[in-house]
Structure 1
């Protein structure tokens, strides 16, 4: 009876080791599977731009090579040279990552961005919104379980744009194309918790004019 118990225990122990080995996440997988929240400081660096603080939430997933990224931010202050305003940005990415080794993943993605910037003068509000789709390449590097670096470089073509006032009246305008560049450094502080700092640059181009939006982010995330 004791031999049977020992044999059963050995089988159970072996299965547990195999299960753990099969599903043990690599450092780069830990880096890319997370949910987080952050504060940001954003500003338009040209065309009479201004700057303001904001907040955001984001989620990332990397499973069986499929990469997903969702990021939503809100800036309650004006980004233009007006007395008041606010802005909202949504970025979505879906791609496929090729593992170079256990610490490095590189791959293409398709992306979508919605950006709306509202300016208010003497109680009159005007919202300029833009929708763009495109693609690019992403990379993530985690040399160990503590540190990680990731980034994306993409180009999105404008598909629709509108200019509307607070009463709901508006008209369509030519949509802006954009170059999107993101870089982020992550540092694991304890268990699944990490801090991250990022720099995000969007260069909008429309009818020979351009607008540069620069955002710095700092926040915390929970890896899963």
Structure 2
């Protein structure tokens, strides 16, 4: 395992993935609550709105992956992380009067950011190892993804517990609920800014791949 993380590209790309998932996985959960509680939408309609992000990720990811085959993934994935940070920052200003079009536009930005980051970043990870280690490299990346998802939800629940407490979300505590969203998106934005550093600092693709020592 230590052999893999001796590669700066492999290590920093996995750290960037961990940060990206930690900062983004809970977004759909938080927005689904906001759309249902403060906007009064049904669960079905809220879910339909949230499709905007994965839909644009689905469109952008194949093109981003293809570009990263021809050009270094460092710039593409860092740009994706930057767009994600920008989208998360825009959600900091979310409140009860935020129009629906604003939420959809920001979801589109996040979807494009996800797509630009994910495919090139995975390409960098797999490109840093010899093909005999593709399974191990993929497993490590999957571990980073799952850890990030758990951290994202854990951070969100911790903020809810601190700001709202162990009570049911009702109109009486909507201000505290909105404040929780504010602090969650502030923290997630900062995390993504840190992720940009790791995405850029890993360096450009090239050099010797990880082989059995």
Structure with the bigger RCO (C-alpha within 8 Å, sep 6+) is 2
The structure with the greater share of residues assigned to strand is 1
The structure with the greater share of residues assigned to helix is 2
Q: Same fold (TM over 0.5)?
A: no
**TM-score where L is the length of structure 2:** 0.21
**TM-score where L is the length of structure 1:** 0.20
Bigger Cα Rg: 1
